[in-house]
Chains A and B, each alone.
Chain A
Amino acid sequence: MTTNAFSISPCGDDLLCIESRDKNAPLLQSLAIALRETGDWLEVVPGMSGVVVQFDNLRWCLSEAQAKLAVHLRDIPNPTTISQDSIEVPICYEGAYGLDLSMLEDRLELSAEQIVSRHLSRTYRIQMIGFLPGFAYCGALDQSLETARLASPRTRVAAGSVGITGRQTGIYSLDCPGGWPIIGRTPLKLFDAGRSNPFLLAAGMEVSFRQVTSDEFKALYRKYHQ
């Protein structure tokens, strides 16, 4: 089924996948917001190349849901605006915070200083939140820093760790397993279920990293994690 720039296909008995031809992350995010506002879908989850909606397949059979979704896609007004806020993210690249910098020096044939300065050289847009609560996928990374995931993922990456892979830089919101090479860490508390807004970051936000020393990191960490 094809509606304008989108195609709809089932990817489960209660899941429909919307693929967009131009794979434009902000467009997918605003499409997801509009679909969520209809209240018809259990989940509306944007990814990097499409959006998946989950529906109650006791309420609608798959073809009814497909027809409903096609109507929604046709009737969606101008793309909803997603967050345009900007946030400064302090980051320390030193020592154990920049865990994989020395490995990346060999892999990328760049010095740690070059990697850091190229990572700092631009602002990023949060393309999506996903994986775990509050994990932020940001783009686009400098082409010279493009790198593969670790061959064997770590069983534990510390919350606040900043990794790179492909043309993305990602911010780990929790202590969790992870496969992205780690280049630094932020002292910000990115996710806190007890906070009125548990998520510090949202899709669409502009992220600029600001380099801090390990002493500054420790002081900021105490401030944000008391």
Chain B
Amino acid sequence: MSVVIDQPGLLTTIQDQGRSGWRHMGVPFCGAADPLSLALANRLVGNSAAAPGLEMTLTGATLRFNLPTVFALAGGSAEILLNGRPTKSQHTCRVQIDDQLSVGPVRKGARTYLAVAGGFRADEVFGSKSTYLPASFGGHHGRIVKAGDVLKIGNAGAIEPSATPAALTPFISDGWILRVVAGAEFEFMDPASGAIIFSEPFAASNRASRMGIELIGQHLKTSTPDIPSSPVFPGTVQCPANGNPFLLMADAQTTGGYPRIAQVIRADRHLMGQIRPGDTIRLMRVTTELAGQILRKKSALYENWLGYCPFT
């Protein structure tokens, strides 16, 4: 019961819905950078919320199944070939032993997720099977997946094939609106920066990883370049001295010394995982009350289909 990796793609790791409760020891959240897409893929193969999937970054993997099973793909759009014939994401696909799945370059968005019925077996560390590369733990021996790796699959029950309803399929674009609330040091920004941060677009720079993405195009100024080391989270927008805001993601460090000017709301954090270098980013300020309403609405929509809230 396994899949064999023929080509791993650029940066492929096993991820789940993340780990919480350890930030005070410096352990990041980890988990799928786009947890909604992983949840949608898991739903199509009958997996629970906790099932680990494969996160493929910018380039997909090629792999063979050593079992008859079902799989599903969701997230960034890529050409998907099953034994050389095109197939689609967002629906359940049946495979036989030795069938080969090939996921091409991700054309829109940054990450594509593969779920297999039963989920990938992986190392559990601090309550999660997510791979955390900087400390080499979790997932598949704490590292990226390589050619020749044999990834074991858990047991699965009977599965009824389905497809993600069109209304729930996330729209993957090259322009993103992230809704934010004011961060702890929002007031540190000078008035000019306070005006442009929500009115002018930023671009995602090449400095992009699972830890975070640098936003360029507008320089922001703060009254103090450094703050005493303070807690930061996925979705925190820091403003370093160079003036380029830094958007923290799933693998965000737990504390930081730059002013925390904004915080992406929980309902929108999954979008960060699909931002690729060159994409346009707009930050839109909402009140904490509105953020709560957005979360409840968006969560109700997806809970109906998934059975749980996928927003972490």
**A binding-site residues for B, Cβ under 8 Å:** 9-15, 17, 23, 32, 36, 42-52, 54, 57-58, 61-62, 128-135, 137, 173-176, 191, 193-194, 199
A173 touches B26 (CB 8 A): yes
Q: Which of the residues B25, B138, B255 comes within 8 Å of A134, measured between beta carbons? A: B25
Q: Which residues of A contact B233 (CB under 8 A)?
A: 12, 15, 43, 52, 54
Determine how close the nearest CB of chain B comes to the CB of A77; give it in whole angstroms: 20
Give B125's nearest chain A residue, CB to CB: A193
Q: Which of the residues B24, B184, B288, B292 comes within 8 Å of A129, measured between beta carbons? A: B24
User: Nearest 7 CB-CB pairs, A to B?
Assistant: A48-B228, A12-B263, A130-B255, A13-B291, A193-B137, A47-B230, A45-B231
Q: Which residues of B contact A11 (CB under 8 A)?
A: 182-184, 260, 263
Give A11's nearest chain B residue, CB to CB: B184
Give B293's nearest chain A residue, CB to CB: A61
- Asked if A13 meets B25 with Cβ closer than 8 Å, knowing A58-B296, A131-B253, A193-B135, the reply is no
Q: Which residues of A contact B138 (CB under 8 A)?
A: 193
The answer for the CA separation of A46 and B288 in the assembled complex, in Å, is: 23
B21 touches A43 (CB 8 A): yes
Quick one: CB contact mask for B5-32 with A, threshold 8 Å, 1 for yes? Answer: 0000000000000001111111110000
A48 touches B309 (CB 8 A): no
Q: How large is the interface on B (under 10, 10 to 19, 20 to 34, 35 or more residues)?
A: 35 or more
Interface pairs (25), CB distance under 8 Å: A11-B260, A12-B183, A12-B265, A13-B265, A13-B266, A13-B292, A15-B263, A45-B23, A47-B230, A48-B230, A49-B228, A50-B230, A51-B231, A52-B184, A54-B233, A130-B24, A130-B26, A130-B254, A131-B229, A132-B26, A132-B135, A132-B253, A133-B27, A174-B134, A193-B126
B26 touches A43 (CB 8 A): no
The answer for the CA separation of A43 and B137 in the assembled complex, in Å, is: 20
Q: Which of the residues B24, B142, B299, B309 comes within 8 Å of A45, measured between beta carbons? A: B24
Task: Say yes or no: is B1 at the interface (Cβ < 8 Å to chain A).
Answer: no
The answer for the CA separation of A174 and B133 in the assembled complex, in Å, is: 11
Determine how close the nearest CB of chain B comes to the CB of A197; give it in whole angstroms: 10
Q: Which of the residues B23, B231, B292 comes within 8 Å of A62, measured between beta carbons? A: B292
Q: Which of the residues A13, A43, A61, A193 comes within 8 Å of B181, measured between beta carbons? A: A13
Q: Which residues of B contact A15 (CB under 8 A)?
A: 233, 263
Determine how close the nearest CB of chain B comes to the CB of A63; give it in whole angstroms: 9
**Interface positions of B from 217 to 235, Cβ below 8 Å from A:** 227-231, 233, 235
Q: Which residues of B contact A131 (CB under 8 A)?
A: 26, 229, 253-256
The answer for the CA separation of A203 and B263 in the assembled complex, in Å, is: 27
B266 touches A133 (CB 8 A): no
Give A135's nearest chain B residue, CB to CB: B26
Task: Say yes or no: is B160 at the interface (Cβ < 8 Å to chain A).
Answer: no
Give A66's nearest chain B residue, CB to CB: B288
